[in-house]
Amino acid sequence: MTEISSMVITHAKATVEEMEDSWHGDIELVLSQLYSNELVYECAVLKTCNRVEIYVVSSKGSSVLFHYAKEMGVSAKIVEFYDHDESLRHLLRLACGLESMIIGEDQILGQIKDFFLMAKEAGTVGKVLSTAFSKAIQVGKRVRTETFINRGAVSIASAAVDLAEDILDGLNDKHILVIGTGEMGTLVTRALSHRDMHVIYLANRTYEKARDLAEELGGEAVMFDQLEKYVHAADVVISATSAPHYVLKDDLVGKVMEGRENDLLLIDIASPRDIDPAVEEIPHVILRNIDGLRVINEKNLQMRMVEAKKAEIIIDDELDLLKAQYKRQKADAIISDLYSQSHGLRHNEMEHAINKLSAYHTMGDIERKVLEDLTHAITNKILAEPTKKLRNAAEYDDDKFLDSVSRLFDIRPIKKNDEITNKS
């Protein structure tokens, strides 16, 4: 049976280093590698700063993912493999922020949308994954509308600012440097804009982006090639770029710290990391990365547990609806082929009868319309009761009955090449 299987690596079991080591290539490359497997009908991936998740539709999904994890060199200690039902529940919980390091965070919902769209554009998703991801996005929106799960600091970015406040006993009169003005950097700057501090410096390789963000949220845009100067002036540096290499190397930080006696707090929330871990050995340098945000999460956790329970109830209800939707799809696929075959046969036999009658009588539009309506009605009435039986069998998980009908009417199972033509 073709269902969803998934493999999940998250902050719950893996460190930042382990998650970095478990990922090879960009999203498009990974999608291409997975989809090239003849056993994989559909696939999608999610990659954020604290998770790597792969979803496949396959009759042998668990085996496919196990071998793929082995090829990636992923330790069995940090990976979870989920079957169809487990994958669906996990995806719904993920969209609602219940699987995030910061319970209830909003950012994950947008990330799910983006990665699903990426897979869709790559042509690697079809009806099965589209149904699951569409439902997850809808449920994520519903939970945020009907509960207060996202009240307070609910993102890695805002948690990074909270962490800085905790370590420095407040940010009053502090100089803050934010490196990166993408989505995460913007969230950091927005969180900082509500605090009372001396100045926010914004650095980005594209100066115009830093300038635009500074004008919108406050702060001072600085040239990226003057990074050393502003790191030296800062009390806190929060780095959140998408660079594939270290942005702050140990030699730059070492030079900045020469003769300096006051601490420099560096917070790295990028994936892959922006800050060379070796800087932690430099006197008066305090380095924190995503793993350090667990402390902030623990503080927020109690506040959100009541709302999380409300979210779980919504997820249970929506999961039942999703499973029922898949059951209907299972029957509908057979019903669609059954009707297609029957009406094809009806049309051919009707044309055969019209040709015979035309040898003796003139057949006009009225006569053709009468025969069309008659044969159409007979076919639909014959199929009405089987349709009910098929949908009832799907509702009660009677796969044997569905398989028997498929064999009886020679309805062949979908092959991968059929899937390719049906992708949306």
Name the residues annotated as catalytic: 49
Helices (H), 194-262: 207-217, 227-233, 250-256
Residue 107 sits at φ, ψ, to 5 deg, of -60, -35
Strands 51-58 and 3-10: antiparallel
Separation of alpha carbons 390 and 217, rounded Å: 58
Q: Cα dihedral sign for 68, 70, 72, 74?
A: positive
Best CA proximity match to 403, nearest among 415, 414, 411: 411
- Residues 6 or more apart whose Cβ sits within 8 Å of residue 390: 331, 334, 335, 338, 401, 402, 405
Task: Return the SS3 of 202.
Answer: strand
Separation of alpha carbons 144 and 95, rounded Å: 10
- Up-side HSE of residue 107: CA atoms within 13 Å toward CB? 23
Separation of alpha carbons 346 and 40, rounded Å: 36
Best CA proximity match to 81, nearest among 95, 67, 92: 67
Q: Is 162 exposed, middle or buried (0-12, 13-18, 19+ CB in 10 A)?
A: buried
Q: Would you say 20 and 9 are in contact if contact means Cβ atoms under 8 Å apart? A: no
Residue 222 sits at φ, ψ, to 5 deg, of -130, 155
Amino acid found at 192: L
Separation of alpha carbons 80 and 65, rounded Å: 10
Task: Return the SS3 of 126.
Answer: coil
Separation of alpha carbons 15 and 21, rounded Å: 10
Q: Would you say 278 and 248 are in contact if contact means Cβ atoms under 8 Å apart? A: no
Best CA proximity match to 144, nearest among 317, 323, 332, 304: 304
